[in-house]
Amino acid sequence: MAEIQNPDSQLTAVKWRFPSVHPEGRKFTLIAAVATLIVYTGFGWHFVGWLLVGLTIWVAAFFRDPIRTTPDDPSLIVAPADGLITMITKVGGPPELGSDGMSGSFTRVSIFMSVFDVHINRSPIAGRIRRVAYVPGKFLNADLDKASEDNERQHFLVQREDGVAIGFTQIAGLVARRIMAFVKEGDTVAAGERIGLIRFGSRVDVYLPDGTAPQVLLGQRTIAGETVLATLGQARVLTGSSQ
């Protein structure tokens, strides 16, 4: 993991680079590319071939894995997913994560990922993975509130050294057919570290503890590992407008 220098201590510059394709997506990109080659050259179906070229590019873009720069501040909770803030509501903790780490009330921030968003999910805080709980379920529209209880999902609970724990959940959507975890219980993760992937289109919920208000607004877009969702213990509620 690259360390970002303080600009006061050293002049630095960052250059844009083309995002890599995550290893999980390379086989799908290869399959699409081979199918395109067969259709275009083997059958001479040029129109269909060009459509498949577009599909191949989209598959590669779907599994893109850009580098993200995460603020080095243990009090910050960063977004675990790219997407749109579609719901902010008060709820109880997911029962699958247990009462010891997720008791009481929480503010649930829901991030909806369209098929055009980056689908690599990241840890909102640094700590140890205390629990990973997979729950089979339906494939309803992930934008619906009941998707958090009815859809296929995977819960994570990350606990800091001081005992503070943050729960978050990967939720499958209409076209999502596989939820993947890159970590297991007992692993130690950094804030912004890659923890999983969902294919294709879905949602991630983050459970903010009581007394911590979200620092994002409905309709705002988030960047996984970079956008600050909240600061632990900060209860000031933001207001804003769409324009």
| Backbone angles phi and psi of 31, in degrees to 5 | -60, -45
Domain borders along the chain are 20-65, 76-231
Residue 224 tokens read as: 């996984």
At 189, is the secondary structure helix, strand, or coil?
strand
Q: Exposed/middle/buried for 187, CB within 10 Å: 0-12, 13-18, 19+?
A: middle
CB 242 within 8 A of CB 219: yes
pLDDT tens per residue across all 243 residues of the chain: 555 555 555 556 778 777 788 888 788 889 888 988 888 777 777 777 788 888 888 888 888 899 999 999 999 999 999 999 999 999 988 888 876 667 788 999 999 998 889 989 999 999 999 999 998 877 666 666 666 777 788 999 999 998 899 999 999 876 656 788 899 999 999 999 999 998 776 899 999 998 999 999 999 999 999 999 999 988 888 888 788
Q: Position of tokens 């086989």?
A: 27
76-231 has which fold? Answer: Glucose Permease (Domain IIA) (2.70.70)
Angle at 206 between CA 204 and CA 212, to 5 degrees: 160
Active-site annotation holder among 114, 202, 241, 242: 202
* Residue 122, C-beta contacts closer than 8 angstroms, at least 6 positions apart: 68, 70, 78, 79, 80, 81, 192, 193, 194, 195, 224, 225
Note the pTM of the prediction, 2 decimals: 0.83
Residue 123 annotated to the active site: no
Give the number of other CB atoms < 10 A from CB of residue 72. Answer: 12
